[in-house]
Amino acid sequence: MLNESISDVSLNDEVSFVISKWQQRFKSVDRVELSLIRKADKFTRKHFHECVGNAEVAKNHSAGFSYETLNEEMTYVYFQILQPLQKYFTNVDDTSSIIATVQQDGSLDSSIHADLTIVIPNKKEWISYVALKYRKLTKFAEYIQSMHYEVVNHKIRRIKISMLLDMSFNMVKHMKECTENEQFFNNWISSCHVIENYTKEHTSNIYVDIKDNNMHIQYKSMKVKYSQIVEL
């Protein structure tokens, strides 16, 4: 695996920079991840982002593999999905990511995994913070597959929300045309209260699987494995 990062905000073509680094090391790759991490300058408080790329070398190299094709398709997904996800949904220290499988010719598989990792600020009441800052994510309720809650010292510190999108998905268009899903939001916050009660006594991470219109909350402790379903 090769990891490349950029923090130079004046660099215009982040995708090409990252892919050029992969090309220098690998003949071909079969899995790629590109992330944008929102930051704030400590003096001016002006926001910028760091770009981080991860790639896994292909187990079986194909002579037909094209980095030019990979660059074109990654650039397309960057502007269709990753950049809008970062622009509309992230706050300081949050990360937006896209993960894709690469075909033998360098093109991307049509299914794109998009993740949003929320960082809960210190001294913030996390459920109120989520309700206030991330309500508009419910516009994408039908695409959200899971949520992962990271517990540190009996407190939720990070939440990773995972979506599965088609490569042709236009996030800006969807944002403009779709409305917030009130039912999903209410059940999300209800599940957060269930999780909050659990963290008072336990410190293991919590996974929420969303399928068949149900929210499955799963967590383990040394003594008990617990599962609860919240109807959507």
199-220 pLDDT tens trace: 888 778 899 999 876 788 887 6
Q: Is the pTM of this model over 0.85?
A: yes
Does the residue 177 lie in any domain? no
pLDDT in tens, 41-80: 888 888 888 999 999 999 888 899 999 999 999 999 999 9
Does the residue 78 lie in any domain? yes
Res. 23: pLDDT tops 60? yes
Does the residue 172 lie in any domain? no
When pLDDT is cut at 50, 70 and 90, the band that residue 8 belongs to is very low
Alpha helix (H) residue ranges in the chain: 14-25, 67-77, 83-89, 126-133, 171-177, 182-199
110 three-state secondary structure: coil
Does the residue 158 lie in any domain? no
Number of domains in the chain: 2
Q: Are residues 81 and 142 in the same domain?
A: no
Q: Which helix (H) or strand (E) holds 164?
A: strand 155-166
pLDDT in tens, 152-165: 888 999 999 999 99
Does the residue 161 lie in any domain? no
When pLDDT is cut at 50, 70 and 90, the band that residue 171 belongs to is very high
Does the residue 228 lie in any domain? yes
Query: Of 92, 116, 140, which marks where a domain is finished?
Result: 116
Does the residue 5 lie in any domain? yes
94 three-state secondary structure: coil
Domain range for 217: 120-153+182-232
Tokens 């995972």 found at: 162
Give the residue from 21, 95, 89 showing the smallest Cα distance to 57: 21
Q: Are residues 44 and 142 in the same domain?
A: no
Q: Are residues 146 and 69 in the same domain?
A: no
Q: Are residues 105 and 190 in the same domain?
A: no
Query: Of 70, 93, 116, which marks where a domain is finished?
Result: 116
